[in-house]
Structure 1
Amino acid sequence: MSQNPEHRILLVHAHPDDECIGTGATMARYVDEGVGVTLVTCTAGEMGEVLVPELEHLAFEKDGGLGEHRRGELDEAMKVLGVTDHRFLGGFGRFHDSGMAWHEDGHAIAAETIPDNAFWTADLNVAADELVKVIREVRPQVLVTYDEFGGYGHPDHIQSHRVAMYAAQLAAAPSYKLDLGKPHDVAKIYWTAMSESRMRESLRQLRDSGDTETFKGMEPDGKLPPFVTPDELISARVDGSAQVQRKMDALAKHDTQVEQDGHFFSGAESGHSWWSDEYFRLVKGTPGKIGADGFEEDLFAGL
């Protein structure tokens, strides 16, 4: 892993808790290595489901206030991971959670009714400029965001991808809005991924153990959802085995969003969890040293 204190990584996520699920171990590991870690969260997750009965009044369709509560959850999660630079795109409340609906094929889509100031309908240039300012200030060598489908189709994940990719391009342009900062070219850009072979292995172990509920509807040899990535498209695997407990502890801080006895935590305790390994697709930059398993072991490899 990186040992260079001048290394900096910027992660662009849609809602509080997304950062822990897909990149929590990576963030914790780079913090441990002395790398500068910056998290940008694009919305406060105001439309999220509330899984704690005594906090159900915070839901958007009831009294509201979930975004402010999730802001606190994110603060606590980042304390666990050791991330001291975390911010909301354009400041807290600048862009509102867009909500979502489920398509009959099992992926997320935009809901029929979208709240005012939804991130999904934000002007791309306006939102990208907010991130250009961060890129030019932080000057990361590595940027991490979602793929073009946002993993599973959530409109805010898709918009996060669009904003991150466009902002990275604009930030590098030597003549673009110099009032937003000195131009900076991000050397490597990665999209988050879940390994198909690892998912199938985990599903096989789950089903062999008699667990039919975790990842219900997914089978070891069956069709997998779009957030699962064929291994041949994956470039890097970060081993966060030394940080996985911090990852799970941080995820638990998002208590309105994750069931404390749900599959995230039951999987971690069962011995067949793959939450410590986090996978990425390199979409800009040159791959660095490849490990024995065929993947880069460090997102800064080659820099």
Structure 2
Amino acid sequence: MTETPDHRIVLVHAHPDDECIGTGATMARYVDEGVGVTLVTCTAGEMGEVLVPELEYLAFEKDGGLGEHRRGELDEAMKVLGVTDHRFLGGFGRFHDSGMAWHEDGHAIPAESIPDNAFWTADLNAAADELVKVLREVRPQVLVTYDEFGGYGHPDHIQAHRVAMYAAQLAAAPSYKLDLGEPHDVAKIYWTAMSESRMRESLRQLRESGDTETFKGMEPDGKLPPFVTPDELISARVDGSAQVQRKMDALAKHDTQVEQDGHFFSGAESGHSWWSDEYFRLVKGTPGKVGADGFEEDLFAGL
């Protein structure tokens, strides 16, 4: 019988690859520390863009099959991070990637045509119940998901936020659907964040280096998009410098979604400086001890 780790964290993400971009270093760090890490992915990312020319036939609008392929990418990425407990919400294929469109203001919005069984239009109770099962089984002290805008407006990110927040409430209710497991109250809930000061610093370095294409339209002292969070709203900074190479190696496994010579892996904002620190907003629970920069250094601080 496998011994249950003392500390446990559940992360709720919308599509394969989201977990690496925002929380890959955090996941790898906690694996290294013996924490129980559970990833719940809400869709298989069937509507994603295919960046590998020889695999373009997998696209939803062509032959299809991208979701199954991305399932394999996720498996490989989790092997790199060392995460052994990763699940699709309700099982693989239960909820379909909803797709998205771009608003003229630069953020994502629902597309005009939404696939059948799209996560965006799923019954909230039905989707939340699937996560209630996980929370009551795993019994994490910490839950991580997106903010109410899903970072940048993607409908599946917004729905993941709604499902995670609602499921956390339902999981704790002592009289709610006891067939889903024994009630469990998650002690701390965090939303992922991108530090404004870090973004401005990176933009300054990029522009000073002569790079005008990366994050085009954003300037060091200008208005920033909604996925950037003012530092005063951020509660925690996880230092993943010891794990960042694994994060980037894991992200590279999502090869249909990220360009291997793109901005994730090249340029002043890449790799070991930009992607090693991961930021979070505490939205439930009591803050723990903070470091010299004023942020918690551990999502389990105070527990």
| Superposition TM-score, scaled by structure 2 size | 0.97
Kept in 1, the 8 Å contact 2:202–2:268? The answer is no
Distance in 2 between residues matched to 1:273 and 1:94, nearest whole Å: 37
The Cα offsets for residues 256-281 of structure 1, whole Å up to 9 and x where unpaired, read as: 00000110101478678410000000
Q: Does 1:249 align with 2:236?
A: no
The Cα offsets for residues 183-215 of structure 1, whole Å up to 9 and x where unpaired, read as: 000000000000000000001001101111111
For structure 1, which segment, 203-212 or 36-45, has the greater mean C-alpha deviation from structure 2 after superposition? 203-212
Following superposition, the deviation at residue 234 of structure 1 comes to: 0.1
Kept in 2, the 8 Å contact 1:2–1:33? The answer is no
Kept in 1, the 8 Å contact 2:187–2:284? The answer is yes
CA distance 1:26–1:268, change in 2 (3 Å): farther
CA distance 1:159–1:2, change in 2 (3 Å): farther
Kept in 2, the 8 Å contact 1:127–1:163? The answer is yes
CA distance 1:287–1:267, change in 2 (3 Å): farther
Kept in 2, the 8 Å contact 1:76–1:250? The answer is yes
- Structure-2 residue corresponding to 1:52: 52
Partner-residue secondary structure (3-state), 2:194: strand
Gaps spanning 5+ residues in structure 2: where? none
Distance in 1 between residues matched to 2:160 and 2:272, nearest whole Å: 31
Following superposition, the deviation at residue 150 of structure 1 comes to: 0.1
Distance in 1 between residues matched to 2:299 and 2:129, nearest whole Å: 25
CA distance 1:233–1:270, change in 2 (3 Å): closer
CA distance 1:268–1:179, change in 2 (3 Å): farther
The Cα offsets for residues 41-79 of structure 1, whole Å up to 9 and x where unpaired, read as: 000000000000000000000000000000000000000
Following superposition, the deviation at residue 169 of structure 1 comes to: 0.1
For structure 1, which segment, 152-161 or 203-212, has the greater mean C-alpha deviation from structure 2 after superposition? 203-212
CA distance 1:9–1:2, change in 2 (3 Å): farther
Distance in 2 between residues matched to 1:44 and 1:190, nearest whole Å: 23
The Cα offsets for residues 93-140 of structure 1, whole Å up to 9 and x where unpaired, read as: 000000000000000000000000000000000000000000000000
Distance in 2 between residues matched to 1:270 and 1:175, nearest whole Å: 48
Q: Does 1:89 align with 2:118?
A: no
CA distance 1:236–1:137, change in 2 (3 Å): same
CA distance 1:41–1:262, change in 2 (3 Å): same
Gaps spanning 5+ residues in structure 1: where? none
Kept in 1, the 8 Å contact 2:244–2:271? The answer is no
CA distance 1:144–1:295, change in 2 (3 Å): same
CA distance 1:198–1:272, change in 2 (3 Å): farther
Kept in 1, the 8 Å contact 2:264–2:270? The answer is no
- Structure-2 residue corresponding to 1:153: 153
CA distance 1:267–1:37, change in 2 (3 Å): farther
CA distance 1:293–1:44, change in 2 (3 Å): same
Following superposition, the deviation at residue 290 of structure 1 comes to: 0.6
Distance in 1 between residues matched to 2:123 and 2:262, nearest whole Å: 37
Kept in 2, the 8 Å contact 1:237–1:277? The answer is yes
Q: Percent identity?
A: 95
Following superposition, the deviation at residue 11 of structure 1 comes to: 0.0
Partner-residue secondary structure (3-state), 2:2: coil
- Please list every run of at least 4 consecutive aligned residues from structure 1 whose deviation after the TM superposition is greater than 2 angstroms: 1-5, 267-273
Distance in 2 between residues matched to 1:261 and 1:273, nearest whole Å: 17
Kept in 1, the 8 Å contact 2:190–2:284? The answer is yes
Kept in 1, the 8 Å contact 2:206–2:269? The answer is no
Q: Does 1:166 align with 2:166?
A: yes
For structure 1, which segment, 212-221 or 39-48, has the greater mean C-alpha deviation from structure 2 after superposition? 212-221
Following superposition, the deviation at residue 5 of structure 1 comes to: 3.8
Kept in 1, the 8 Å contact 2:206–2:268? The answer is no
- Structure-2 residue corresponding to 1:31: 31
CA distance 1:270–1:27, change in 2 (3 Å): closer
Distance in 2 between residues matched to 1:267 and 1:237, nearest whole Å: 23
Kept in 2, the 8 Å contact 1:268–1:275? The answer is no
The Cα offsets for residues 223-263 of structure 1, whole Å up to 9 and x where unpaired, read as: 11100000000000000000000000000000000000110
